[in-house]
């Protein structure tokens, strides 16, 4: 387990300086932490695809963006990922919360909880699941893949790891 | 007014130090035909996201004028973007909407912009300028008044139909991105 401020500090230590997205309960402490952080400002988007667009603009401007979303929002992000960020090679860190993990969640999360990793694989997006023992390992590996390949990479966050 | 003529008038009225985001389909194809430039980011996919890309640029480069050129179909796909732009209200963002009341690039299927007053949505969402224009002279006049005083939303009523045989965007997406980033460094210092 890691605190939200430690987690945000870690994101900043990797150079991230722009954040946008749509909230999830799993991400709420991180977003709260960023709401008062001028070094990693958080721009709330109305939808996840809008967040991908805003992050893309910031990246073109020279920023290093993170997009936070619940995995339900991955569905809304498929087109911008496929026809904008992978196509134009725009590196963005996706921090995706994993609702529906192991089939234990509200019914609306179960199918996406099962399908999420396969969807990322189908799109060719590198991903890492954040582990409780060493949260930084997943961020470090995702950032490496993102920068080497120049495309978005995902870090998947389960409930209870960042508090 | 033809859409091509609106784009031509718009480009002529700018001084060349702006960053342009043009939406997918005929708008990017007509923009590259009017004037190709490294500071044009031609979208060839991700319909609807031109204003969001513009917002990300405008927030990040507060001293550089950002101009988004898109169609009514683009705006209608991403109406939430108007609310977000109105909220953050970057003065350096101008959104020009070429409204022909249809999806011209896919065969002219009607949109609902003949009844939805998109510029009024922008106005009540917090844009500092929200205008509807029908002539090139009006477009140029409002555009000049809007630069640096945004967020601004100019809805330009244009005719349906495209220039016959117009070329596609010839640069690869990676080339578009690479030269745009170079232009960003040149323009924003």
> Comparing C-alpha atoms, which of B40, B30, B32, B120 is closest to residue B71?
B30
Question: Considering only the top CATH level, what class is A4-157?
Answer: alpha beta
Set of chain A residues whose Cβ sits within 8 Å of the Cβ of B81: 46, 50, 53
Give pLDDT tens digits for B14-71.
999 999 999 998 999 999 999 999 999 999 999 999 999 999 999 999 999 999 999 9
Q: Cα distance from A151 to chain B (closest Cα, Å)?
A: 11
Set of chain B residues whose Cβ sits within 8 Å of the Cβ of A39: none
| 3 state DSSP class of B173 | helix
Q: Does A123 touch chain B (CB under 8 A)?
A: no
Q: In this complex, do B176 and A88 lie within 8 Å of one another by their Cβ atoms?
A: yes
- Closest partner residue to A58 (CB to CB) among B48, B59, B177 is B59
Reported as a pLDDT band with limits 50, 70 and 90, residue B179 is: very high
Domain ranges of chain A: 4-157
Reported as a pLDDT band with limits 50, 70 and 90, residue B165 is: confident
Residue with tokens 């060839």: B44
| Parallel/antiparallel/unpaired status of strands B129-133 and B66-71 | unpaired
Alpha-helical segments (H) within chain A: 4-13, 28-34, 48-60, 74-80, 107-123, 135-149
The pTM assigned to this predicted structure is 0.98
List A residues 80-109 in contact with B (Cβ-Cβ < 8 A): 80, 82-84, 87-90
Set of chain B residues whose Cβ sits within 8 Å of the Cβ of A56: 49, 52-53, 56
Reported as a pLDDT band with limits 50, 70 and 90, residue A113 is: very high
- Closest partner residue to B59 (CB to CB) among A43, A44, A90 is A43
Residue with tokens 């002219």: B108
Q: In this complex, do B173 and A46 lie within 8 Å of one another by their Cβ atoms?
A: no
pLDDT value, residue B164: 85
- Closest partner residue to A46 (CB to CB) among B83, B88, B188 is B83
Give me chain A's average pLDDT, please.
96
Q: Does B81 touch chain A (CB under 8 A)?
A: yes
The token duo for B25 is: 């389909």
Mean pLDDT, residues A86-111: 96
| 3 state DSSP class of A19 | strand
Residue with tokens 């350096």: B92
First to last CA, chain A: 7
Q: In this complex, do B52 and A54 lie within 8 Å of one another by their Cβ atoms?
A: yes
pLDDT value, residue B189: 77
A59 DSSP 8-state letter: H
pLDDT value, residue B95: 98
Query: How many residues does this entry show for chain A?
Result: 163
pLDDT value, residue A77: 98
Q: Give the residue from A39, A53, A87, A90 with the most B CB atoms within 10 Å of its CB, the best one to mutate.
A: A53
Give pLDDT tens digits for A34-81.
988 999 999 999 999 999 999 999 999 999 999 999 999 999 999 999
**B156 is in which domain, residue-wise?**
3-188
Reported as a pLDDT band with limits 50, 70 and 90, residue B105 is: confident
CATH number for the domain that contains residue B123: 3.40.50.970
Residue with tokens 């060719």: A124
Q: What ipTM describes this predicted complex? A: 0.97
Number of DSSP helices (H) and strands (E) in chain A, helices first: 6, 6
Q: Distance between CA B152 and CA B68 in Å, rounded? A: 10
Set of chain A residues whose Cβ sits within 8 Å of the Cβ of B88: 43
Q: How many structural domains comprise chain B?
A: 1
């Amino acid at each position: 387990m890691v605190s939200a401020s430690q987690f945000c500090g870690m994101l900043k230590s990797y150079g991230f300086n722009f954040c946008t997205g749509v909230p999830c309960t799993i991400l709420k402490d991180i977003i709260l932490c960023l709401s008062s952080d001028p070094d990693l400002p958080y721009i709330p988007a109305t939808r996840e695809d809008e967040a991908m667009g805003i992050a893309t603009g910031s990246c073109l401007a020279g920023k290093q963006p993170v997009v936070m979303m619940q995995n339900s929002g991955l569905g809304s992000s498929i087109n911008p990922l496929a026809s904008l960020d992978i196509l134009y090679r725009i590196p963005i860190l996706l921090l995706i919360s994993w609702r529906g993990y192991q089939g234990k969640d509200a019914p609306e999360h179960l199918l996406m909880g099962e399908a999420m990793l396969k969807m990322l694989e189908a799109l060719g997006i590198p991903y890492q699941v954040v582990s409780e023992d060493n949260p930084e390992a997943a961020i470090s590996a995702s950032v490496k893949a993102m920068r080497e390949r120049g495309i978005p990479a995902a870090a998947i966050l389960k409930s209870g790891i960042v508090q | 007014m033809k859409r091509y003529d609106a784009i031509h008038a718009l480009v002529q009225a700018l001084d060349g130090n702006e960053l342009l985001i043009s939406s997918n389909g005929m708008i990017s194809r007509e923009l590259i035909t009017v004037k190709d430039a490294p500071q044009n980011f031609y979208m060839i996919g991700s319909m609807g996201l031109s204003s969001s890309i513009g917002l990300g640029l405008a927030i990040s480069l507060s001293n550089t004028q950002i101009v988004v050129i898109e169609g009514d179909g683009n705006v209608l796909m991403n109406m939430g973007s108007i609310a977000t732009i109105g909220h953050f209200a970057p003065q350096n963002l101008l959104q020009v909407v070429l409204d022909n009341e249809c999806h011209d690039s896919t065969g002219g299927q009607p949109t609902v912009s003949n009844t939805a007053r998109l510029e009024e949505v922008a106005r009540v969402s917090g844009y500092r300028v929200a205008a509807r224009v029908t002539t090139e002279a009006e477009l140029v006049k409002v555009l000049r008044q809007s630069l640096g005083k945004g967020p601004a939303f100019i809805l330009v009523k244009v005719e349906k139909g495209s220039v016959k045989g117009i070329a596609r965007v010839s640069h690869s997406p990676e080339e578009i991105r690479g030269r745009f980033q170079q232009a960003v460094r040149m323009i924003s210092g």
